[in-house]
Each structure stands twice: as structure tokens, then as C-alpha cells.
Structure 1
Amino acid sequence: MTAPSILALYAHPDDESLVAGGVLARHAAAGARTAVVTATWSPDSHRAAELATALGILGAGEPRMLGYADFRVPDSAPGQPRFRDAPLEESVGRVVSHIRAFRPDIVVTHDAYGSSGHPDHRHTHRVALLAVHAAGLDGLHPLAGPAWQPGALYFTAHPRRACRALSDLLSGAGKHLHTVPDDRATAGVDVRPWLDRKWAAIRAHRSETARGHSLPALLSGLPPRDREAILGTEWFIRHTPGPHPGASANSPRSALAAAGGAVGRRPSYCLCPPAKWAAAADAVRSSAERAVMAPAGTRRGTASGVVAMRVNRRLTGGGPS
């Protein structure tokens, strides 16, 4: 079965590589279509050029930039409003256009905290949530193309215990990482087989790597083993947006959407393949330092009883091609 396609929506160039670079590389290597929409910075800026290099490394195509200004760098898009200041309906409509044009199975974006709490991260979460729901409704944004409902929406997350090393790294630089309770993370993807690509993509954002206490700069100062411990797993919270177009009333994806992710339902698209959940859960029990799990049990579609799991390389179709 072909790996599900992924459209990532993140606030700034380098966000995609830092928090979802492994998943993007993994799916691209499996033959899936992948793409990234970036909310801020001008398409003719140096950050856009760095983004193009990073996406080439990850196999995620050409940059798709909304071109708004960074909240903290107004000259990042001369003549354009800051992303947070742009009319919400306009921003959502532009993202809907990208969703309907690309027709992804999965959308990934920032969580409500926005990791560091950056205003652009938080606003991207809000815009993405609205756009994923609007994309499936043909009565909204009719000029953006035929309706398309992604099968799943995932929010980047940082479970407290699993991300303690990253939290400590940022704290030492006077920064704060917003974490979530461990049982809120519904997918943990082992991206170590693709870590070389992910790290190369992060380093492609050269201006960030050279900028003082930025996260890429802080990561560059770590020994490889410590860097792997931070970057080797990507964590997500799954949100079910609604029925997939063309799904019958009795199909699994329609049933899941109608039930709102009820206990016992299985997602039609997921970052951890459904048939591998139990085996993946067993695989992480022997790696307590690298994975955080809720109380033993089967992974469910709701927060209660969730297992936040690492997906072993042998369970996810092997390493990079």
C-alpha cells in the first residue's frame, strides 16, 4: 500500500525540518507525495532559498510560501502584513487553496502551544485547523477549487518526559519549550533511519544555524549522540477533521469521522500504520529512555489509554532509499 501523502504547514522556514523533517523524509522515501506550506518570509528572501535546499533534501518539492511577514521580523516580507495581522479569512482561504490543489491524506502543523510559544506558531495552528475543516466544505472558499477533506490532521507535540533533553537545552539558552502531558501524544515516530537527511535539512537553513541561540545553532553545538536523542523521535497529537471525499457511509474513514475518533475506531490514515501498533508498542517497552508510554494497553483513538509510541525501523518499511 502506498504511504499516505503529507502536506505540512509551518510558520517559518526551518520549522518543517526541525519538527517534521524525519516524517517528511520517511514518507517521501516510501514513494508518498509530500509538500510544505510556509506562512512567513518573502519568496525572494534568503530564507526562501535556504528552504528550497532543505525541501530538496527531504524530498518535499518546491517551497509553497504564503509570503506574510514574520511577527518579529517585519522586513522579512516588505510591503506585506505580519501573518498575525492579515485578515483571518484571507489566510485560511490561501491555505485551503493549497490543500485542495495538493489533496493530501494527512496535514501536519504546530500544536496550540506552538512549541516555543512564538506568535506565528500559534497563529499557524489556528489557521491550519480552520483551513483543514473548510477545505472539505464545498460551500466555503468556492474559488479555491473542488472540496477535499484530508483524512487526518496531526499537531506537532512535545511530551514532557520524552522531550526533557530538548527542554533543558532551550532553558539553558533562556528559552522555554511548551510541553504536553505524556498521554496527549498519540503518535511517536522513530525517524533515526532518516536522521542524516533531517539534520542536513536543518543545516541547510544556514542563517538560522549561524544565529546565536537559535535552536539549529544550539543543536549544532551538541555531540551527535545527544543530538540524535533530541531529533530521533517526532511526536504528534492526532485530530480527526471529518469524512474523506468519496467515502461511503459504511467505510472505516467515514465511521471514524462520524464517531469523532471513538474508542475502538481505527484511523484511515496515520503516521504509525494501524497494523503495526501492537508490535510498535512492544518494541518501545525495552527503550524507556527513548520513549514515553501511557499505562499499558492498546492504542486508542482518544486521549485516554493512549500509547505514545516509537515506531521501530523494521515496522515502517525500512530505512531511507
Structure 2
Amino acid sequence: MSETPAHRLLLVHAHPDDESIGQGATMAKYVAEGRGVTLVTCTGGEMGEILVPELEHLAADRDGGLGEHRRGELAEAMKALGVTDHRYLGGFGRYHDSGMQWHPDGHAIAADEVGEAAFWHADLTEAADHLVAIIREVRPQVLVTYDQFGGYGHPDHIQAHRVATYGAALAAVPSYRHDLGEAWDVAKIYWGAMSATRMREGLRTLRAAGDTTSFQGMDPEGPLPPFVCADEDLAAAVDAQDHHEQKMAALRAHATQITTDGPFFALSNNVGSTAWGIEYFRLAKGTQGPVGDDGLETDLFAGV
């Protein structure tokens, strides 16, 4: 029986690929350092857009089967990052991707029709209880999820935020659901974020290189989308540039969702490892630990 790592991180994400985009480098770094990393994915991503023409038949409105295919993609991404503890909330297939549509203002909203099995329709307490059991088993000191808007408004991201927040609260109550394990209070909860300063710098570099299509519509001198965070609201920046290539490999594994000529790789090619190898966080619960000269923690476990 392997020894339980002293430091344990739990991430709660909505779909396969969200984890690699948001915290892939941090996950790889912590695995390499011998820290525990557990990923919980809430849906199979069945409603995702398919970017591989020969796999378009897997779409929900055709043959179906995208969720099972993305399950394999996620397994490959986790191999790239070195993560061995990955679970689906309630088991694979319990909650279905809710789908989305774009609001005229540029953020995501729920689709006009959302299936009954969709995560967006999940009973909050039932879904949270699945997470309570995991929290009490893993006993993480740190939990990472989305902000209340889910980054860009996707209903499944918003629901993942709600489930993570409520699940963490319930897991800490000694008298709540003894059958789900012994109470555990997660010391620190973070919301994944992106630095406005870094985003503007990256956009300027892309535009100067003649790339006008990556992150189309974003002006480096203008308003930025809601998933970009003012630097004064950030609490931590994990420098995992040494694991940048692992993150890129994980992104490539999600081939139905992310193309190698897409914005993530364009930014990486033009800006280098700093583009996606440094990952930012807002502190939603707990006390900020020791910080660097920039006022940011360099380790999510700082002060724990």
C-alpha cells in the first residue's frame, strides 16, 4: 500500500480538456514533486464541438459516442501529465454534458434545449454528495475549480463551481452524512484565473507576429473576456514552465476539441512556455500564505 502524499490537490472540472487548459502545468508539476493530484470531471463532454472531420459521426445529433471517445482522450491527457487518480462525478455517464450557446455579448449560456440527464439539471445536494465522498476519502488541503461564472458562462462550469463549493462545505460538517466518511475541511479553495497583464502581453505578441485569428475579437488594449482577471485580484501564480511540454502534450491528446493550429498553440509558439506554463489563481477560501515580490503565492499549499 502506497503512502499517502503529505500534500493533496483536488481539481473539479466540467468536461474532459478543461483541466489541461486551466491547470495542466500545475498538475504535472505537483505530480513530479510527489504531491497527490486528484481530478474529478463532472461530465463526459458529450456535446462538445468535434474538430476532427472523420469523427464528426460521434456528435450527439448523429451516431453519438463522443463522451466515450473523450473518455479515452482524457486518459491519454492524464498519462501526459502523470496523473493517476482521476474520477468522474458519480461515475462515468452519471451526468451528461449540458451543451451551450453563445450570447450576443460573447459569453456562453445554456442551450434552448437541455436534456434531463444534463449536469445543469442535476440536483445540487445529490451531486455535491458524490463529491463529499471523494473529499473525505482524499482529504485534500487544496481544491481548485471555477469562479461563480464558470470562467465564460458555460452552464456546466457554473454547476461545477456550485457543486465544488457546496460539496466542500458539506464535507466539513461533522454531523453530515456519516456514511460518506469522516468530516474533512478543505483548507484552501482556489478559482482558476488568467492574468490580465499576461493576456494583454500575449495578445500584443500574437498581433505583432501577424496573427489576427487566434483569440479573434480580443483587443490587447481593449476589454477582455470575463475569464481574464485583474492582477490585483490574483492570489497565486504557479510557475510550472518546466512542465509546459507536458501540458502541450495533454492538450494534443484532446484532439476532438483542440487543434494544434488553434489559439493555445499559437500563443505557446509565439510567447513560449510563459504563455501556459505559469498558471494563475484567485483565493476563494483560506488565508494567503507567504508571497513573492509580486504579492502572489508561488505554491497553492503555501501556509498549509
1:94 corresponds in structure 2 to: 130
Q: Check whether the contact 1:157–1:235 (CA below 8 A) recurs between aligned residues.
A: yes
Q: Check whether the contact 2:13–2:39 (CA below 8 A) recurs between aligned residues.
A: yes
1:184 aligns with 2:172: no
Instruction: Give the number of the structure with larger relative contact order, counting CA–CA contacts within 8 Å between residues 6 or more apart.
Output: 2
CA distance 1:31–1:62, change in 2 (3 Å): closer
TM-superposed deviation, 1:70? 1.2
- Aligned AA (1:56): K
1:34 aligns with 2:37: yes
Q: Please give the alpha-carbon distance, in whole angstroms, between the structure 2 residues aligned to 1:56 and 1:140.
A: 35
1:247 corresponds in structure 2 to: none
Q: Which secondary structure state, in structure 2, belongs to the residue aligned with residue 162 of structure 1?
A: helix
1:226 corresponds in structure 2 to: 271
Q: Please give the alpha-carbon distance, in whole angstroms, between the structure 2 residues aligned to 1:19 and 1:191.
A: 12
1:61 corresponds in structure 2 to: 84
1:286 corresponds in structure 2 to: none
Q: Check whether the contact 1:108–1:153 (CA below 8 A) recurs between aligned residues.
A: yes
TM-superposed deviation, 1:240? 2.7
Q: Check whether the contact 1:182–1:308 (CA below 8 A) recurs between aligned residues.
A: no
Q: Please give the alpha-carbon distance, in whole angstroms, between the structure 2 residues aligned to 1:63 and 1:185.
A: 27
Q: Which secondary structure state, in structure 1, belongs to the residue aligned with residue 197 of structure 2?
A: coil
Q: Which moved more, 1:47-56 or 1:153-162?
A: 153-162
- Spell out, residue by residue over 1:28-48, the C-alpha distance to the aligned partner (whole angstroms, 9 max, x if none): 111111110001117971111
| Superposition pairs of residues 202-217 of structure 1, within 5 angstroms | 202-210=251-259, 217=262
- Aligned AA (1:37): V
2:63 corresponds in structure 1 to: none
Q: Check whether the contact 2:267–2:275 (CA below 8 A) recurs between aligned residues.
A: no
Between the aligned residues of both structures, percent identity stands at 30
TM-superposed deviation, 1:196? 0.9
| Superposition pairs of residues 267-278 of structure 1, within 5 angstroms | 267=289, 274=290, 277=291
- Aligned AA (1:181): A
| Superposition pairs of residues 242-257 of structure 1, within 5 angstroms | none
TM-superposed deviation, 1:120? 1.2
Q: Check whether the contact 1:165–1:230 (CA below 8 A) recurs between aligned residues.
A: no
TM-superposed deviation, 1:167? 7.1
Q: Check whether the contact 1:104–1:150 (CA below 8 A) recurs between aligned residues.
A: yes
CA distance 1:140–1:52, change in 2 (3 Å): same
1:115 aligns with 2:151: yes
CA distance 1:48–1:216, change in 2 (3 Å): farther
Q: Please give the alpha-carbon distance, in whole angstroms, between the structure 1 residues aligned to 2:17 and 2:202.
A: 16
1:308 corresponds in structure 2 to: 296
- Aligned AA (1:47): R
CA distance 1:235–1:90, change in 2 (3 Å): same
- Spell out, residue by residue over 1:123-168, the C-alpha distance to the aligned partner (whole angstroms, 9 max, x if none): 2111111111111112223321111112211110123223225678
- Contiguous gaps of at least 5 residues in structure 2: 47-65, 101-109, 205-213
Q: Please give the alpha-carbon distance, in whole angstroms, between the structure 1 residues aligned to 2:184 and 2:262.
A: 39
Q: Please give the alpha-carbon distance, in whole angstroms, between the structure 1 residues aligned to 2:250 and 2:279.
A: 15
- Aligned AA (1:207): T
CA distance 1:161–1:63, change in 2 (3 Å): same
- Aligned AA (1:70): D
| Superposition pairs of residues 287-306 of structure 1, within 5 angstroms | 293=294
1:126 aligns with 2:162: yes
Q: Which secondary structure state, in structure 1, belongs to the residue aligned with residue 74 of structure 2?
A: helix
Select which of 154, 161, 170 maps to 2:215.
170
Q: Please give the alpha-carbon distance, in whole angstroms, between the structure 1 residues aligned to 2:21 and 2:234.
A: 17
Q: Which secondary structure state, in structure 1, belongs to the residue aligned with residue 11 of structure 2?
A: strand
1:271 corresponds in structure 2 to: none
TM-superposed deviation, 1:221? 4.0
| Superposition pairs of residues 64-79 of structure 1, within 5 angstroms | 64-66=87-89, 67=93, 68-72=95-99
The size of the alignment, in residue pairs, is 247
1:15 corresponds in structure 2 to: 18
1:4 aligns with 2:7: yes
Per the normalisation by structure 2, the TM-score is 0.72
- Spell out, residue by residue over 1:261-290, the C-alpha distance to the aligned partner (whole angstroms, 9 max, x if none): 4xxxx64xxxxxx3xx3xx32xxxxxxxxx
Select which of 272, 284, 287 maps to 1:239.
284
Q: Please give the alpha-carbon distance, in whole angstroms, between the structure 2 residues aligned to 1:108 and 1:235.
A: 11
TM-superposed deviation, 1:225? 3.5
CA distance 1:12–1:181, change in 2 (3 Å): same
Q: Please give the alpha-carbon distance, in whole angstroms, between the structure 2 residues aligned to 1:234 and 1:3.
A: 22
1:50 corresponds in structure 2 to: 73
Q: Please give the alpha-carbon distance, in whole angstroms, between the structure 1 residues aligned to 2:67 and 2:158.
A: 25
Per the normalisation by structure 1, the TM-score is 0.68
